[in-house]
Amino acid sequence: MSQKQTKHVVVIGGGPAGLMAAEVLVNAGVAVDLYDAMPSVGRKFLLAGKGGMNLTHSEAADRFAERYGTRRTQIEALLRDFGANELRAWTQGLGIDTFVGSSGRVFPKDMKAAPLLRAWLQRLRHPSHGGPGVSFHMRHRWLGWSGDGRELRFESPDGEVRVQADAVVLALGGGSWARLGSNGAWVPLLVARGVAVAPLLPANCGFDVAVQRKLPSEGQALPVQAVPAATGWSEFFASRFAGQPFKTVAIRCTDGPGRRFERKGEFVATATGVEGSLVYAASSLLREEIIRTGHATLHLDLLPDMSAERVLAEVSHPRGSRSLSSHLKSRLGIDGIKAAVLHELLSKDDMHDAGKLAAAIKALPLQLVAARPIDEAISSAGGVLFEALNDDLMSEALPGLFCAGEMLDWEAPTGGYLLTACLASGRKAGMGVLRYLRG
């Protein structure tokens, strides 16, 4: 009998990695049943595409691979088979044209995720070879295995369902955005079966700040005495500037082992700290430094296009009867949230010391003390260790079990890198299943 008639694979997880694995398998004539706990597939995919569906990035392959940090070697191996160019060709095959934006990011021409997902699901249900398509089973939450490990257990609206399969692909996501299905509930299930899993941590996340509060000495306005740093901005700053962006700034940070990050861009003040694209890009370094030492220091350059010498000269320029705020605005264009953060972090004496103020404008130290909770993060780090898998992403402890997507132990910044690696890993797992089924 043919493989099409005899082999049955279960894919658990209806995100990009699971759908890609299912596509590889069903195109090879394998019977595929895909299970997902949510009412429909691709929910995180659709939400991520609301502001413009960033598919991948157009930068050179070497630079692209660098974005995966300590897991570059493992992800680069996946990208050799399905990288940015292959992803764009695959998208074109679904009838979705793409374009490269000014930032180098790649988008569908209509900027939307929904048409792409609809076309993809249509192809999965009705593959070109004319055979059976993928069977989708929604509202089926995976519960692990039966006692003897021979059956998969699912909680469904009609009660518990048990399923046997010749191979299984897990693509259950990481730990972020639990409301969309990625809640990390699979971790104890795999650990109990001997699969090595690194703890799930927030990635592409915001951080809470610690601000040194200053109180007047008893009976006088100055000098001030410092009180212990408190988490979050002052009530004054948070009430007026939470949600506002720091535009045209740069950040710089270095961790204990000497890794350095420096980039220009923008980010946003939150009620308790900072978030946004520029902060997300440095989040791995900042998070690991906080884990290692309890805090991380981010240096903020409020005027990255102006030299330190020029800033000092402008700050030192005689201001006559003008207030300091008017002086900074007229000479340097510093007002609004940029002026407010200087007042938030510097003492009154430092604000009126030209040298200290100029230095702060170019390198204002901002202490970060905690990453925001994982469920607020765009993505997560940690997951199934690559060392626990073979080159086909099959578990060494559980032959026939493959893992793909964000549930693997890797992370990447936003910009199309997350989706590209998820799709590439799904394809690798699907190809690995085919090899496994062929013996």
User: Is 84 within 8 Å of 107 (Cβ atoms)?
Assistant: no
Rounded Cα distance between 48 and 204, Å, is: 13
Helix (H) or strand (E) holding 100: strand 98-100
Q: What is the pLDDT of residue 214?
A: 56
Q: What is the pLDDT of residue 3?
A: 42
Q: Are strands 401-403 and 167-170 parallel, antiparallel or unpaired?
A: parallel
What is the residue-level pLDDT of the chain in tens, covering all 439 positions?
A: 344 456 999 999 999 999 999 999 999 999 999 999 999 999 999 988 787 899 999 999 999 999 999 999 999 999 999 999 999 999 999 999 999 999 999 999 999 999 999 999 999 999 988 889 999 999 999 999 999 899 999 999 999 999 999 999 999 999 998 888 899 999 999 999 999 999 999 999 999 999 976 544 444 443 444 445 678 999 999 999 999 999 999 999 998 888 899 999 999 999 999 999 999 999 999 999 999 999 999 999 999 999 999 999 999 999 888 999 999 999 999 999 999 999 999 999 999 999 999 999 999 999 999 999 999 999 999 999 999 999 999 999 999 999 999 999 999 999 999 999 999 999 999 999 999 999 8
The runs of H, that is alpha helices, within 268-333 are 277-281, 283-293, 308-316, 324-332
Query: What is the location of CATH 3.50.50.60 in the chain?
Result: 3-202+379-437
Q: What is the pLDDT of residue 406?
A: 97
User: Is 224 within 8 Å of 216 (Cβ atoms)?
Assistant: yes
Strand segments, DSSP code E, in 15-72 are 31-35, 56-57
Enumerate residues 6+ apart whose C-beta is below 8 A from 202: 175, 176, 283, 287, 371, 372, 373, 374, 376, 377, 380, 381
Q: What is the pLDDT of residue 231?
A: 82
From the list 375, 391, 384, the residue with the least C-alpha distance to 408 is 384
| CATH classification for the domain delimited by 3-202+379-437, as one of 3.30.930.10, 3.40.50.1860, 3.30.230.10, 3.50.50.60 | 3.50.50.60
Rounded Cα distance between 231 and 255, Å, is: 21
User: Is 57 within 8 Å of 85 (Cβ atoms)?
Assistant: no
Tokens 């009430």 belong to 239
From the list 263, 216, 351, 233, the residue with the least C-alpha distance to 67 is 263
* C-alpha distances out from residue 194 to 13, 183, 395, 400, Å: 21, 20, 10, 14
Q: What is the pLDDT of residue 131?
A: 87
How many C-beta atoms surround the C-beta of residue 232 within 10 A?
17
Burial 278-289 (b: 16+ CB within 10 A, else e): bbbbbbbbbbbb
